[in-house]
Amino acid sequence: MTRFAAALTCALLATSSLCFAAEPPAATASERLWYGAAWYPEQWPSKDWDKDLTLMEAAGVNVVRIGEFAWSSLEPSEGHYDFSWMDKAIRMAERHHIKVVIGTPTDTPPAWLTGKYPDVLRIDANGQRAEHGGRRQFSYASPLYRKFCREMVAKLAERYGHDANVIGWQIGNELTDESFDAGTRQMFQDWLKQRYGTLDALNEAWTTSYWSQTYSDWSQIPLTAKGGNPGLMLEHKHFVTATWRSFVQNQIDALRPAVEPGQFITTNVGGLAWTDNWDHYTINEPLDVASWDPYVGRGHLNAVDHAFLSDFVRGWKRQNFWVMETQPGFVNWAPVNNALDPGEVRAMAWESVGHGADAVLFWQWRSALNGQEQYHGTLIGPDGNPVPLYREFKDVGREFQKTSAAIAGTVPQSDVAILTTYDSRWAIDFQPHSVAFDQKKVFLDYYQPLQDLTHAVDVVNAYAPLDRYKIVFAPQLNVIPQDLAQRLSDYVKHGGTLVLGPRSGMKDQFNRLNVQRQPGPLADLLGGRVEQFYALDETLTVAGSAGTGTASIWGEDLTAKAGDSKVLLRFGKNRTWLSQEAAALSRPAGQGKIVYLGTLLDPKLMRAFVGEQLKDAHVTPWLGALPEGVEAMRRTGKAHDIVILINHGNAPANITLPNAMRDALGNNDDVHDLTLESQGVAVLETKHGN
């Protein structure tokens, strides 16, 4: 086994103490609300810096991110470093009471590196080598590139690891593309050899007798982005995850021994956090805090989508997170780069905080005079003066300053969770069986009624501890290995309610079809099974205890096998194989209950079905019913709760609170009734026991 293969194995087995003996220090990001922007002093004469920082300080900025694209400014030629400009920028920020997060510049290797060492460049799936002039043009698996990265990061850590004005480190910027070069293919084959031990074991797991795919030598196994054997495709995703994990770990290993324990380490995930290039849970495991970059792009804020993704990000480490970049009005990469309306930037920032963000930073502070993102929205124009959005940015900064002490140390909490795994997401992506089966939409079909009815939802890995939850929903847990089945079964038997959605339990850990019918290893617990699954090309009626409505896109024919299994919903009479068959089953098990919903319901019936399950699990909304378009979020501290209300609707909304709460954004008066204008925000404080 090569050293690299061993590192990849450790990265895949992310929870193994053999791989990571020392736990990272606890994140320190919640001591206050952080507010800021990405600042690129290397792009501007130093005479302009003080004006930038003065405008930041006036807007309530207390943190900037610098350096993540500055390799050529930090190391102009091989082995020759220039930190003088960064020294000066950090000290000037300090004079304006602004802390610094340093981004390691490994997303943008300098031209001297890629020119002298072209083997570090990435090869795409078509065999084309990347060229200099963009970013992320490196091969994430290249040992030589990693050597250069580690040397650069070590130099930065040595210089700034004990700087009191540096509070954290961001590794790279938005990890993205894999490489398909010959060296990476060899690493993939070595990694598979370590994972399976023998080709016989691999051939059996992948059922390679199908289409005569059987391998007689490890070198025959391809590395490709094309569709193929589901077992191979799943392992490729595991390998990509493990490779990015070890890429990140390479820099963690350079930072951790050289920096103060209070300096956190993160890596920011791109605005499309739902993409499944790799497993976000595994990548984030060795980091101190998760961070991501939410953008709207074309159109306007979709509050439900942004809330869901924020909860999803919080679930990566099951703790508060950072928004390391967000949209200052508009972007430059959408089909139509329209601006968000007045108030939307504020609403989006506060929604992030409500769902667990301890920091909101905008990208970027000031327009670069040249480069690929000239048209991207900013807070300051190329002349160094504020753009119109700066006024709203400044208002939010003042609000963050006013509420920071009260919000510090608080976290969202919920009795309800939505479960997912990347294996399940990948498996369905590989074989969707219906172009209409949109996994994100399926999750949102569950999330929206849960958010409306409970005001608090966790989105977590199915392997996370579940004891704290009264009820968990697993909308499409396609891959259920035996160990996961046992964990879910134990959760139910000890008093929890598990609600499975369609396509659950179809596959095992190798992406093979389970020999048991769905839900596979949970079929006995359910006391029922799926006789057959169907992609639907028509809408069917469905009715039961939750009411009457319609089902579409996907349907499963369920049969109760145990005497205490109960049919909750049944398809109406129709011309398909699903005519009058069961669409949902439930069964008590131990002290809890398992439910299986085998189709996708219309929004009204879905809300009623979810509400029925919540009622049976004794989960009630802590704030009661709210006007349409009003979102409620709660962050809990040791002695008080922070309640954030946002009116995403187009008309004013009147809200009556269950008890008087302190208006943290107003004059600190107690309020019981309030009116929120469109895009209006209220931040309220209530003591425990009130």
Catalytic residue numbers? 174, 325
Structure tokens at 426: 């990948």
Contact 121, 131 (CB under 8 A): yes
Contact 62, 387 (CB under 8 A): no
Q: Give the H or E element holding residue 113.
A: helix 111-116
Q: Alpha-carbon distance 303 to 647, whole Å?
A: 10
Structure tokens at 112: 């001297």
Structure tokens at 472: 């968990």
DSSP category for residue 564: T
Count CA within 13 A, CB hemisphere, residue 675: 3
Amino acid at 284: N
Three-state SS annotation for 52-93:
HHHHHHHCCCCEEEECCCCHHHHCCECCECCCHHHHHHHHHH
DSSP category for residue 239: H
The Cα angle at residue 123 between residues 120 and 129, in degrees rounded to 5: 80
Contact 30, 409 (CB under 8 A): yes
Q: Backbone phi, then psi, for 348, in 5-degree steps?
A: -65, -40
Integer angstrom CA distances of residue 313 from 18, 319, 356, 409, 458 = 27, 9, 9, 18, 10
Q: Alpha-carbon distance 222 to 188, whole Å?
A: 9
Using alpha carbons, select from 69, 76, 504 the residue that is nearest to residue 268.
Answer: 69
Q: Return all residues near 6 (Cβ < 8 A) that are at least 6 apart.
A: 194
Q: Return all residues near 274 (Cβ < 8 A) that are at least 6 apart.
A: 309, 312, 440
Judged by DSSP in three states, 115 sits in helix
Structure tokens at 76: 């102009």
Using alpha carbons, select from 477, 469, 475 the residue that is nearest to residue 494.
Answer: 469
Using alpha carbons, select from 492, 486, 448 the residue that is nearest to residue 469.
Answer: 492
Rg, C-alpha atoms of the chain: 26
DSSP category for residue 142: -
